[in-house]
Amino acid sequence: MQQTMTDPLGLRAEFPITQTWNYLNCAAIAPLSHAARNAGIAFMDERMYEPWPDPAPMGLIRLRQRKDRVRAAFAKLIGAQPGEIGLVESTSAGENIVARALDLKPGDEIVVDALHFESSYLLYRQLEQSHGIVLRVVPATNGTIDPEDIAAVCGKRTRLVSLSWVSNRNGFRHDVAQIAAIAHAHGAYCYVDAIQAVGTFVMDVAAADIDFLGCGSYKWLYANFGVSFLYVKNNLLDRIPSDRFGHTHVASATDDLQFTVKSDASKYEYAAIAHTSVAQLEGALSLFERVGMATIERHGLALAQRLWTGLEAAGCDMFTPPHTQSAIVSIYTHEKTAAIEAALKQHKIAALFRENNTSLRLGCAMFNTEAEIDQCVAVVRGAITGK
């Protein structure tokens, strides 16, 4: 792994997309690496040539062992124990499992904020209709959420505070330890959507004392769809049962069809999972071990700060607050949306327009370079000024 100015982490050869695009869109969908692709191909070769190897149990054992390796690798990334990690189909699946396990009653309150992901709003609006809960939405101020505003709406009936560690809208990063402490002070739990966070900075869920965390793998983990992670704090595993049951729950069985169900977070894996995606995920996660999460954090956050500073100096209306410590930078584009979009396409810079085409979201990945950031700033500046 050779590091140079044009390849700071020695990773660009791992990501063929860097040969054709200045790719700043991992906050939407990240490209696969060779490591992920090759792991997926190796799995498909297994399925093609040896789907059920001798002796008979080896096929299942091989699948289980791969899941457990992926579970352990993710646990290491977030500072958890492998037994606290379940593999589910999506980030939203994890939050649904948690929310529906809380036995919510009419008048119980869920607290979210205005920078959360839309799926969470939909979930809790549905629970308003079906269970009579009260959803409290904390507004944003200048692209941030003040923890005191969260504390102000928490009360005796608050059951859950749900937030995105990093907002998908503008990259605002919560101090999740502070929010968890607020939730716990009111007898509530703290759920964290971490899909825009894991893989971008060093984290420790145990130190932060959050209760639950969900994270998909097709963004900053550079893997694929169909496999996500659900973290449940060890002492809450009994509190959050699985919401469905299937053969992979079984820890032991008797001849008269009595079953013992798994008690760790693997109990959320009730049936066969998307094993091709699990294999690709194992390949993708190997890059984090190879490079080191602290190195990835320093690189990505430095690029994001360079991008924010450059865009602000270019006269952009910043949606992302200053000094935000995440990989995401968003600007308001106003009437310049069409001009910026055309310029980005012309220079093969991948990004995403959001907020009904009024904002541009950019993300700084571990394969990006300072030159790519500077090119993006120059292109956006040119589109705004017409020069």
- pLDDT tens digits for 93-144? 999 999 999 999 999 999 999 999 999 999 999 999 999 999 999 999 999 9
Q: Each residue of 216-230: pLDDT tens digit?
A: 999 999 999 999 999
| Predicted TM-score (pTM) of this structure | 0.95
- Mind listing the domains of the chain with CATH numbers? 12-31+292-385 (3.90.1150.10), 43-289 (3.40.640.10)
Cβ atoms of 150 and 111 within 8 Å: the answer is yes
Cis bond upstream, residue 241 (ω within 30): no
Question: Where do we find the tokens 């690189």?
Answer: 299
pLDDT per residue of the chain (387 residues) written in tens, 0 to 9: 556 668 899 999 999 999 999 999 999 999 999 999 999 999 999 989 888 776 666 778 888 999 999 999 999 999 999 999 999 999 999 999 999 999 999 999 999 999 999 999 999 999 999 999 999 999 999 999 999 999 999 999 999 999 999 999 999 999 999 999 999 999 999 999 999 999 999 999 999 999 999 999 999 999 999 999 999 999 999 999 988 888 887 888 888 888 888 889 999 998 889 999 999 999 999 999 999 999 999 999 999 999 999 999 999 999 999 999 999 999 999 999 999 999 999 999 999 999 999 999 999 999 999 999 999 999 999 999 987
- Beta strand pairing status for 109-113 and 22-23? unpaired
The secondary element (H helix, E strand) that includes residue 309 is: helix 293-313
229, 97 Cβ separation under 8 angstroms: no
Q: How far apart are CA 78 and CA 287, in angstroms?
A: 15
Extract the tokens encoding 328.
Answer: 């995401």
